[in-house]
Structure 1
Amino acid sequence: MTDIKVSFGWNSYQTCSAQQCSNASILEQGVSYWQDSNIIISLFFYVAVAGAYDISLLSTEVQRSAELQVTIPTISYRYFAKFNTDSLNLSLGTIQIKYPGYYQVNFQGTNSLVNRKTGYYPQLNSLILSGSQNQNAIYFVNDSFSSYYGRRGPSCHFTYNLESKTNIQQFFNEVTVPKYWDAVGTYAMAIGFDYGYFGMQVNSESERKILFSVWSPQSTDDPSQISADNTVILVSKGNNTVINSFGGEGSGGQSYLVYPWVAGVSYQFKLVGQPSTNGYSVFSAYFKDPTKSQDYILIASWKRPKTQSYLSGLYSFIENFNPEKGHISRKAYFNHQKAIDYRNKEVKVLSAYFTYDVTADKKQRFDYDGGVDNVKGFYLRNCGFFNKTNVQYGDTFIKNK
């Protein structure tokens, strides 16, 4: 028999809303400092092999006697776990899993008299599943992987196949995030290219942005280390565009417009790129809100040094950049792609092929999807622990017009 230990620090989220409860602390060590009975901690894992599993809860600190309600909604499982100060490993019985897929286990303090004493609820460290002979029966974000990227969830991408890749000067894309699929942390990246990326973000409950960034040719995550001859230079910007440098994932020039874009509306993006003088190339990003105007507005125009290039490596992606929100699904449609070369001749966009990041590649998360809708366009979906789809890395999709 194999004991499979699913760590809370890599695989759990607080799933009640901020209006209902205070916050627990979810760190790599586990879940701690929670005493509000409205808090729900949800742990997620993927079961590849159906069967009966004995489950137990491992804690490293129990300050006081307490009761936790443990539920697995999809299999109608409910258990009251009674912790005493000397019970760090508590059996929760046996669960029968009939179908492979993602399972969510919820933990919530009860309102019993024993729980009204002072102190925090027991620290949640690991859920242990026993009973399988197969070491690959359960998949989850394991301790050897990044808890930050694992809890963020997988990113997935479409790379566009063009009839010709030579001297593409302009690229157009339309992005629609459907209603109710715009969780905080969403980045629907409309036009990525070899030297930067351009799209729209949900930064908080009250702020959204249209973001355009261009990488420096110098390889560093620290923008203060970029030499003068490797610095991306601002050429021009829109009236309300904010200009910054950025780091942490390479470094370069960042520009963004705080803009209240709305889920369900199809926004249009235009990127222009071409060689300039003195070894620079100029890349300019434009955005259109069809509910406000039929004209594009400039976000920013940047000069990238040591570069003589038109647009290349054109792609789109969807990601979640907030690790506390990796349990919520996102979706975006990408439609009406158009490419124009330096002679002002339209170049056909033939197809899009699907890829994903290391989180999916290492089988840490399976909640990713991509495909095509002949009306709405190519679509990408990620996060939310939905059951694994049939899309494969490298699958190619063609939109029938």
Structure 2
Amino acid sequence: MRYVAAALLGLMFSYVGLAEAQTATSVPLGGNAYITVAPKNAAETINDTGLHNWTSSQTVVSTYFYAGQAGTLDLSLAGSLAGASHSQVKVSLGGQTRTADLYGTGTSPFPVGSFYVDAPGYVKVDLQGVSTDGKYFGDISDLLIDGAASTGAVFANDPANFYWSRRGPSVHLGFGVPANTEYFYSEITVPQGQDPVGTYYMANGFDVGYAGIQVNSPKERWVLFSVWDSPTGSTTLVRKGSQVITNGFGGEGTGGQSHLVFPWVAGKTYRFLTRAQPDGSGNTLYSFWFGVPVDKKNAKSGVEWKFLATWKYVGRVSYLTSTYSFLEGFNPATGYLGRRASYGNQWAIGADGTWTEITRARFTVDATGRNQQRLDFAGGANGNAFFLRNDGFFSDTVAPDQYFDRSANLIHPEVDFSQLP
């Protein structure tokens, strides 16, 4: 009798799910979900087709989408039991919890129930396995959403770019600098708690290279300086600093990369100094120094400068142009974690030694944001510094292509160029 009842219940759910699927919006887990809680050696994976290998009842899978308005949200799960005949799954949204019964051997929608979304903005739907009579709880490909709160929903819907949508939108600040800018100086402060693994805080970018700091793992952090190859030949290393590792890079273009393993920490302000120097033979030498805050008893300016590298860019004579900064998450598995940094005290130093403070920046976002695959991006000015923010599925989006002005510091930092390593 229990088996017959379960079969009839499953058939009823299939009919209800079919009716709902005809009007519901599908939010694919492949581009919008993350494993946010997992035991050690968890087997669960998320790929472009959704959630798989869901074996642990301790694992929490979180799916995010932007609700266009407040109201009721009717929710179902699309997928299959993959060998089981019955699983129970806890589904949570905004403090509301429902238990979904998944029945059947085919692929079908599984109704969950109704929730209430109290305001437009990002919502998080958590899935956690409760019980199953198979090896794992099931394969889930999509959330099916309906009701008032689903109106105008925004989420990643381009399977060809799910890798980028799970990473999250990259945000940038573009600076205008005077002609013949030989050096560019700036500072970054990463607030405590805003430094998840898989983040690059790029401070000093220019038309053919960039320098900044990143979080590679829970135990390792880098300072990086990269210069792309020119159209006429490969970028070559001229010299490098102590303990600096150099190599070529590929993927998004090719060129030379230098990095220093260094335990920078959130809450401290770090300095960045890049230089463009024509070599007199038709090429340009690009160099980078990283400034670490120290006690003024040990350094006149309160900064210890570490030299990373000088790279030769062949076939062109140039000073620094198209200067910019950016913030990006480069690990798709951590794209649900928020990142923020303060970018300040930008100065251009001309070949004649003139210092010019840069107090205006243009805020932009990459294709992930422009194509509305993600809306959790922001930038602007706060006092005497700019800021960039991305990921974390916050709802306070800042429209790109705006200019922001920070307040001026008026006095340039102390840098003794003759004493740089």
Is 2:123 the counterpart of 1:103?
yes
Q: Which of 320, 327, 340 does residue 311 from structure 1 map onto? A: 320
Structure 1 residues 101 and 141: CA distance shift in structure 2, 3 A: same
Q: Which of 137, 140, 153 does residue 168 from structure 2 map onto? A: 153
Q: Secondary structure at the match of 2:175?
A: strand
Residue 124 of structure 1 aligns with which residue?
Answer: 140
Q: Percent identity?
A: 36
Q: Which of 366, 380, 387 does residue 379 from structure 1 map onto? A: 387
Q: Secondary structure at the match of 2:24?
A: strand
Q: Residues 176 and 322 of structure 2 are in contact (CA less than 8 Å); yes or no, is this contact kept in structure 1?
A: no
Normalising by structure 1, what TM-score? 0.90
Please report the RMSD computed on the Cα atoms of aligned residues, expressed in angstroms: 1.8
Structure 1 residues 10 and 157: CA distance shift in structure 2, 3 A: same
Residue 42 of structure 1 aligns with which residue?
Answer: 62
Distance of 1:129 and 1:118 partners within structure 2 = 27
Long gaps (5+) in structure 1: 219-228
Is 2:421 the counterpart of 1:388?
no
Distance of 1:318 and 1:212 partners within structure 2 = 15
- Counterpart mapping for 1:1-400 below 5 A: 2-16=23-37, 22-64=42-84, 65-72=86-93, 74=94, 76-86=95-105, 88-110=108-130, 114-115=131-132, 117-131=133-147, 137-162=152-177, 165-218=178-231, 230-291=233-294, 294-375=303-384, 377-389=385-397, 391-400=398-407
AA aligned to 2:171 is: C
Residue 274 of structure 1 deviates from its aligned partner by 2.1
Distance of 2:261 and 2:23 partners within structure 1 = 51
Distance of 1:17 and 1:68 partners within structure 2 = 16
AA aligned to 1:314 is: T
Residue 145 of structure 1 deviates from its aligned partner by 4.6
Q: Secondary structure at the match of 1:372?
A: strand
Long gaps (5+) in structure 2: 1-21, 409-421
Q: Residues 62 and 83 of structure 1 are in contact (CA less than 8 Å); yes or no, is this contact kept in structure 2?
A: no
Structure 1 residues 189-217: Cα deviation after superposition (integer angstroms, max 9, x where no partner): 01000010100000011110000000012
Structure 1 residues 175-197: Cα deviation after superposition (integer angstroms, max 9, x where no partner): 11110100001100010000101
Q: Residues 167 and 330 of structure 2 are in contact (CA less than 8 Å); yes or no, is this contact kept in structure 1?
A: yes
Residue 18 of structure 1 deviates from its aligned partner by 5.4
Distance of 2:304 and 2:71 partners within structure 1 = 59
Q: Residues 38 and 58 of structure 2 are in contact (CA less than 8 Å); yes or no, is this contact kept in structure 1?
A: no
Distance of 1:18 and 1:146 partners within structure 2 = 28
Segments ≥4 residues shifted beyond 4 Å: none
Structure 1 residues 39-73: Cα deviation after superposition (integer angstroms, max 9, x where no partner): 0000000011333332211013432121110000x
Distance of 1:317 and 1:232 partners within structure 2 = 23
Higher Rg of the two aligned structures: 2
Count of aligned residue pairs for this structure pair: 379
Normalising by structure 2, what TM-score? 0.86
AA aligned to 1:191 is: N
